[in-house]
């Protein structure tokens, strides 16, 4: 994230949070912190013992650990790491767990996502090393045994059965991969591995840090956040198996595959191994002779006619191939390797304006993405991650950007399956860019950092290269690496057979080898009006904007009450200058002043918390919609087209007041449904810059015989203008067509007015509807005083007329049917049953349980709809039946000028 210092030399940074099981933190107390407590005897009894599979070629992850501060451990490392040691008073921890994540799960601290609970956790407890200890059993010693791991934050001394097998100077860095041969130490029966984890300082270590996304965790994520594998095998090990694909573009008629793997002789004698493999019906084999402790690269060539080509979601299918390899010595299996991969081609040249333009399989596409945040405590929960990726598809997005915090393998497996493109890369604002970011935070590199950086890049390249969802690696974020660091990265990428584009930075920077990034990081990160996005300057819809949004995204009232005390909630609408703990630690972003001033200036001062949240959802809907609509419309322009936009951010890793399209609990409000509306497949939209009404087609096929209609109303529903255009046609693949242009003035139209756009097909069926609330008095931007995070607004649009809209009753009927796959679908018909002319604006429908709590996650066919008198809409919501927790479903209906009501939906 680009942070020009607001007050030298302070730099605002970003902080992150990731995946957590829904409701996990709801089980924790929300009272004031009472201090750490010792685990119960029952908890101590849960110390895991992992049964290691004996078969050659298997990799068994350790199932978890017991952990304790080194300040409380008096035994020697040899004793701690020996079988039979009794970890009395230690805490259980999961297989992938930071120290603080384990302590939270063990009930040591109350919910850190509520109020300021996290601030009360003592940082000093995490400024000493912590022990991680785990037992595993081996039934025989006929196979060789290796420990294979990454994800250690920040560094660790490693011990097995009382012996040190690695030092922290070598096991250093969150992304470095380590394989330790412990064959000579392993015994039949119980064995012990122990890690003495060093404290983490992201400004001093090439690990993971938090910037200004959230309040940083007191332990700075120290721990082990990826699986530690116990590998078993024979004399010859297979490592680094992968497939280099070359697809014929544009015909897609053939593909040439190069299979590579390293065969390594781990024994003290020469061996001859037979390496055989298959990809689908294609089989191949070779024999390789290896001297003792020598390694050779084995290569196979495979040609495919009519390959099954992988496409991003919405552009085609997402087939995957499987590579299976076996090494046998004297006819006995010695090791196996398996990789899934997709066949696709990615190119990202710079266009004539210097912007990076992605092409997949020869087809140009607009990158529409969001910035991903893992859980603040780096807890991995596959279901929660999958739910968020499904939300990305529901929103019509095609890309997720991961700035640091590069998720485990399962994340990319899911992205492959769902067709979601990913842009992983290193993070800004700490040691990763300390050498090149001037006066920003992050120590300068020493000679010891370069090998860690190279090992990190080597490991991540090897891990990500076969995933078709990965379309680049960003070796810089706010700054590009210097020549020495870039060569370190590029050499590692080349050695790993990395074939997708390497991008120098997420900002407008360049590096000697990779050249210009073709991206911009010009903000905004705080509030600007909707018309900002249409200007082809700064963060407006031109080029590739790697991270941008209008800043705050206030959650729903349900979520706000889960995350803040009543006194804290009152500050949201009563005092814009209050420092908001749930916004950011940054002095630039720690209040809601810009946002709240705009809300008051445009919509009028809030009269209550409910009124504040109501206005926030309206404001977020219009702003997020405008951001995506502007980039969509400009994508096919001949001059300075838009090529990519990444909403900052897609989600938050904790309970946040900014940078999120959905909140921590996956509830959906104005920001979510504004994005969903803007990115619908066939879409009619209004242009804030030139008043044109545009039809945009994100489908592959062209659309013809469409009818576009624009109608303008006073806020009381009086119609002032109506125009219909028939015979509208638009090509596919993101093309747009201008159907009409609204007049600059309409006689009698109120200062605040409504625009209803509809698009119908040849049969008269409505295929897109879009409602805007606009003002005859525009927002005025002070471009000359643009800062790195926003452009000031000198006068606001007058939308206060919306406050005078009459209250309109909306009736609702709902029914629910259960599916065979553990899901349910509730169908809701909402109808404006008012007797006058006034529409119901932004009518929201929430699925709730019998206690009125939202059922989450959910996926709506549409929501936050606007209905004129007599109009009705039928909406469908799908969800996991289990998320009702045995309750009967209900539907809560509310809106801008709609009284809230709840109806049964059984």
102 and 91 in contact (C-beta within 8 Å)?
yes
With CA atoms as reference, report the closest residue to 720 among 836, 619, 837, 832: 837
Q: How far apart (Å, rounded) are the C-alpha atoms in residues 601 and 136?
A: 63
Catalytic option among 157, 394, 460, 478: 478
Q: Give the residues across from 316 on adjacent strands.
A: none
714 is an active site residue: no
Backbone angles phi, psi at 77, to 5 degrees: -55, -35
User: What are the residues whose beta carbons fall under 8 Å from the beta carbon of 637, sequence distance 6 or more?
Assistant: none
Q: How many CB atoms lie within 10 A of CB 88?
A: 11
DSSP class of 549 = -
Q: Is residue 443 classed exposed, middle or buried when 0-12, 13-18 and 19+ CB atoms within 10 A define those classes?
A: middle
- State the Cα–Cα distance between residues 119 and 113, nearest whole angstrom: 10
The sheet that has 236-247: what strands, in order across it? 236-247, 254-265, 295-305
Across 472-581, the runs of DSSP E, i.e. the strands, are: 473-474, 502-503, 510-511, 515-516, 543-548
Taking the CA atoms of residue 231, residue 233, residue 238 and residue 239 in that order, the dihedral angle to the nearest 10 degrees is 20
Strands 130-138 and 49-51: parallel
> Which is catalytic among the residues 547, 553, 629, 714?
547
Helix (H, G, I), strand (E, B) or coil at 598: helix
Closest CA to 370 of 346, 396, 351, 349: 396
For β-strands 152-153 and 156-160, DSSP reports them as: unpaired
- The 10 Å Cβ neighbour count of residue 81 is 27
CA distance 547 to 167: 39
Question: Which 3 state secondary structure label does DSSP give 356?
Answer: strand
Which of left, alpha, beta for 306 (phi over 0: left; psi -120 to 50: alpha)?
left
What tokens appear for 175 in the block? 């992304």
Structure tokens at 171: 């096991």
Quote the crossing angle between the two packed helices 483-495 and 449-464, to the nearest 10°.
40
Following CA atoms 408, 471, 860, 572 in sequence, which dihedral angle do they give, to the nearest 10 degrees? 70
Pairing of strands 295-305, 254-265: antiparallel
Other beta carbons within 10 angstroms of residue 106's beta carbon come to 19
> What residues form DSSP beta bridges with 66?
92, 133
The encoded tokens of residue 515 equal 């050249």
**Structure-token pair, residue 741:** 């242009």
Of 888, 41, 6, which Cα lies nearest the Cα of 526? Answer: 6
Query: 733: alpha, beta or left, given left = phi > 0 and alpha = psi -120 to 50?
Result: left
How far does Cα 499 stand from its chain's mean position?
23
Q: Which residues contact 846 (CB under 8 A, 6 or more apart)?
A: 558, 854, 891, 892, 893, 894
Q: In the annotation, is 478 catalytic?
A: yes
Q: How far apart are CA 841 and CA 847, in angstroms?
A: 19
Q: Residues of 738-757 as b/e, b for ≥16 C-beta within 10 angstroms? A: bbbebeeeeeebbebbbbbb
* Bond prior to 23 in cis (omega within 30° of 0): no
Rounded CA-CA distance 724/747 in Å is 19
Catalytic residue ranges: 478, 547
């Amino acid at each position: 994230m680009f942070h020009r210092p607001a007050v030298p030399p302070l730099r605002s940074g970003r902080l992150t949070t990731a995946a957590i099981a829904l409701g996990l933190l709801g089980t924790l107390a929300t009272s004031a912190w009472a201090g750490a407590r010792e685990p119960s005897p029952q908890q101590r009894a849960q110390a895991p013992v992992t049964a290691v599979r004996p078969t050659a070629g298997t990799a068994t992850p350790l199932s978890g650990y017991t952990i304790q501060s080194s300040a409380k451990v008096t035994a020697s490392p040899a004793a701690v790491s020996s079988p039979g040691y009794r970890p009395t008073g230690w805490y259980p921890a999961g297989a992938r767990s930071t120290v603080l994540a384990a302590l939270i799960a063990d009930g040591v601290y109350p919910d850190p996502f509520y109020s300021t609970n996290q601030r009360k956790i003592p940082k000093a407890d995490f400024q000493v090393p912590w022990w991680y200890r785990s037992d595993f059993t081996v039934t025989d010693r006929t196979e060789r045994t290796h420990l294979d791991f990454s994800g250690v934050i920040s560094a660790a001394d490693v011990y097995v059965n009382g012996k040190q097998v690695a030092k922290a100077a070598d096991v250093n860095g969150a992304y470095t991969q380590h394989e330790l041969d412990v064959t000579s130490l392993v015994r039949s029966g119980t064995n012990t591995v122990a890690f003495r984890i060093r404290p983490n300082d992201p400004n001093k270590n090439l690990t993971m840090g938090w910037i200004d996304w959230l309040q940083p965790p007191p332990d700075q994520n120290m721990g082990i956040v990826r699986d530690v594998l116990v590998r078993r095998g024979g004399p010859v090990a297979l490592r680094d198996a992968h497939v280099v694909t070359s697809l014929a573009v544009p015909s897609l008629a053939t593909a040439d595959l190069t299979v590579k793997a390293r065969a390594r002789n781990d024994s003290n004698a020469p061996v001859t191994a037979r390496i055989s493999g298959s990809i689908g019906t294609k089989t191949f084999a070779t024999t390789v002779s290896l001297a003792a402790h020598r390694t050779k690269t084995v290569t196979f060539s495979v040609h495919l006619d009519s390959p099954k080509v992988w496409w991003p979601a919405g552009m085609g299918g997402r087939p995957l191939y499987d590579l299976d390899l076996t090494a046998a010595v004297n006819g006995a299996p010695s090791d196996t390797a398996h990789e899934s991969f997709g066949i696709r081609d990615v190119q990202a040249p710079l266009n004539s304006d210097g912007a990076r333009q992605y092409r997949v399989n020869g087809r140009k596409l607009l990158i529409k993405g969001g910035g991903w945040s893992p859980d603040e405590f780096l807890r991995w929960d596959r279901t929660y991650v999958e739910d968020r990726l499904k939300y990305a598809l529901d929103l019509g997005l095609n890309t997720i950007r991961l700035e640091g915090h590069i998720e485990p393998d399962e994340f990319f497996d899911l992205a492959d399956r769902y067709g979601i493109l990913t842009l992983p890369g290193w993070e800004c604002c700490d040691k990763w860019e300390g050498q090149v970011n001037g006066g920003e935070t992050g120590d300068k590199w020493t000679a010891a950092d370069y090998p860690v950086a190279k090992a990190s890049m080597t490991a991540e390249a090897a891990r990500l290269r076969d995933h078709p969802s990965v379309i680049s690696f960003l070796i810089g974020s706010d700054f590009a690496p210097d020549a020495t660091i870039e060569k370190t990265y590029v050499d590692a990428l080349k050695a790993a057979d990395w074939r997708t584009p390497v991008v120098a930075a997420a900002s407008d920077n360049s590096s000697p080898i990779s050249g210009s990034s073709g991206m911009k990081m010009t903000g905004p990160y705080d509030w600007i009006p909707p018309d900002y996005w249409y200007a082809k300057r700064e963060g407006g819809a031109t080029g590739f904007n790697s991270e941008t949004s209008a800043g705050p995204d206030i959650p729903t009232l349900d979520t706000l009450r889960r995350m803040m005390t009543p006194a804290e909630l009152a500050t949201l609408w009563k005092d814009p200058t209050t420092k908001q703990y749930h916004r950011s630690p940054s002095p630039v972003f720690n209040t809601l002043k810009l946002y709240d001033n705009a809300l008051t200036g445009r919509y009028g001062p809030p009269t209550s918390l409910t009124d504040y949240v109501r206005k926030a959802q309206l404001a977020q809907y219009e702003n997020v919609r405008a951001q995506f609509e502007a980039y969509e419309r400009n994508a096919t322009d001949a001059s300075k087209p838009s090529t990519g936009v990444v909403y900052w951010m897609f989600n938050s890793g904790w309970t946040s007041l900014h940078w999120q399209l959905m909140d921590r609990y996956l509830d959906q409000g104005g920001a979510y449904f504004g994005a969903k509306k803007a990115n619908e497949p066939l879409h009619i939209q209004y242009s804030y810059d030139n008043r044109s009404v545009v039809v945009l087609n994100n489908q592959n096929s062209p659309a013809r015989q469409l009818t576009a209609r624009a109608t303008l109303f006073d806020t009381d529903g009086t119609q002032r203008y109506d125009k219909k255009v028939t015979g509208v046609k638009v090509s596919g693949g993101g093309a747009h067509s201008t159907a009409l242009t609204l007049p600059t003035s309409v006689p009698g139209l109120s200062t605040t007015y409504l625009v209803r756009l509809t698009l119908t097909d040849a049969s008269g069926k409505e295929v897109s509807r879009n409602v805007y609330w606009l003002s005859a008095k525009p927002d005025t931007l002070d471009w000359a005083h643009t800062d790195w995070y926003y452009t000031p607004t000198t006068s606001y649009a007058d939308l206060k007329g919306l406050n005078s809209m009459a209250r309109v009753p909306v009736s609702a009927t709902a029914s629910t049917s259960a599916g065979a796959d553990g899901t349910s679908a509730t169908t809701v018909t909402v109808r404006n049953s008012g007797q006058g002319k006034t529409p119901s604006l932004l009518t929201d429908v929430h699925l709730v349980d019998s206690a009125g709590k939202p059922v989450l996650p959910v996926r709506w066919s549409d929501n936050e709809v606007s209905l004129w008198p007599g109009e009705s809409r039928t909406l469908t919501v799908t969800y996991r039946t289990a998320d009702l927790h045995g309750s009967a479903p209900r539907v809560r209906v509310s809106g801008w000028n709609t009284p809230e009501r709840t109806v049964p939906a059984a």
